Amino acid sequence: MEKKVDIRTLTFDKLLSWFESEGEKKFRAKQVWEWLWQKSATDFETMSNLSKPLREKLNAHFEIRPVKVSESQISSDRTIKSGFRLYDNHLVEGVLIPTDDRMTACVSSQVGCSLTCKFCATGYMNRERNLTGAEIYDQVVLIKNQAEENYQAPLTNIVYMGMGEPLLNYAAVLDSVDKITSEQGLNWSPKRITVSTAGIAKMIKKLGDDEVKFNLALSLHAANDEKRNQIMPINESNSLKNLEEALNYFYRKTQNKITLEYIIFHGFNDTLQDARELLEFCKRVPSKVNIIEYNPISEANYQNADPEAIDKFADFLEKRGVTVNIRRSRGKDIDAACGQLAIKEK
C-alpha cells in the first residue's frame, strides 16, 4: 500500500501537477488549496464542493496531519496556555494573550530548543525537531478560535515567541507566514506578525535579502558581550557587533525598525550603567525597546528586578529619546509567561 503524502507539504504547483496527472480539472486544485489554507480544513470529507469520488481519491493518496489541543489552562488574567499535540505525539505550547486592545497568539516553531539561554525554561529542553509550516499555521488557527470562543474577539497579533528559535527553522517559519498572510490563505497583514530571534546574524541578513514584511524582534537582554555571553551562549558566535551589522542590513533592506527585547533581572542587568550600554546600542540600530518583566523558573536563580529599578531604567532611556514599552507579565500562574514554556507531562 502506498504511503500517504502529507498534502500540506505540497506547493500549489505540485498540487496542480497531481490533479493534472490524475486527469482532474485544474480549478479543483485551487478549491482544495482554499479549503486547506483559507478555511483551515483538516479533513477531506468537509470539502463539500468536491465530488465524493474525488474526496475518496484524495483520501487514498494524501493525509492531513492537524495539530490538536491536548489541554488548555486559563490564567486569572484570562491568558490561555495550550499544549498542542502533533501527529507524532510530540507536544508544543502556545499562548493566547488578551489585553484591553489586543488578542495576541504566541506560537512555537520547534519542539524544544537547541539554544541554551540560561533564563528560559525551553532552553533546558532538548530540540526534538522543527515544526512544519502547517503546524505553526495550525497553532494560529486554534488560538484564533480560542479568542473568538472565549472572548468573542478576533485575533489581532501573532508573535513567534513560543518554544524554539524561529530562525533555526527558517523555511518553515517563512512558509507559515506566507500561508497566514497570503490572499489564498488567512489574508493577514504581515505588520501584525512579529518574529523574535535570540540573534543568528547570518539569518537576520537572510531575512533582509528576502525583504520580509513582518516585524523583527531581537532578544537582547544585555548590551554588553560579557554579560550576554553569560545568559545567552549564542552570543559567543553572534557578538553584539555582528548583530548590530546584521540588524542594520535588515533595516536597509526592509525599512522595518527592530524591537529590542530586554528582560530585566535583579542585580544583573538593571543598573543605569546597563541602561547606558543599551542606549548606545539603540543609537547604532534603528530600534525601539520592550522591557519585559522576568518570570522565574525552577531551573535558574534569576529574579525579576524591583519595580522601582524597572521604572528608573525605562525613564533613563525615554528621556534620551528611546521609545520604550514595559511589558507586564501575563499568565504567570499557569507558567504561560515569557520564558516559562516547557512541557511538563502529567
Query: Could you list the active site residues?
Result: 93, 338
Q: Of 85, 89, 136, 138, which Cα lies nearest the Cα of 108?
A: 136
Contact between residue 286 and residue 323 where contact means Cβ atoms under 8 Å apart? no
The DSSP H or E segment spanning 338 is none
* Separation CA 122–CA 119 (nearest Å): 9
Instruction: From residue 284, give the alpha-carbon distance in Å to each of 55, 56, 251, 280.
Output: 56, 59, 12, 7
Phi, psi dihedral angles at 200 (to 5 degrees): -110, 100
For the chain, the first-to-last Cα distance in angstroms comes to 37
Question: What are the cell numbers at 32?
Answer: 482544495
Contact between residue 262 and residue 270 where contact means Cβ atoms under 8 Å apart? no
Quickly list DSSP for 93-148.
EEEEEE-SS-EEEE--SEES-S---TT-GGGGSPP-EEPPHHHHHHHHHHHHHHHH
CB atoms within 10 A of CB 114: 14
Instruction: From residue 144, give the alpha-carbon distance in Å to each of 92, 108, 131, 134, 260.
Output: 17, 15, 19, 15, 26
Pairing of strands 193-197, 157-160: parallel
Question: What are the cell numbers at 291?
Answer: 522591557
* Separation CA 27–CA 42 (nearest Å): 20
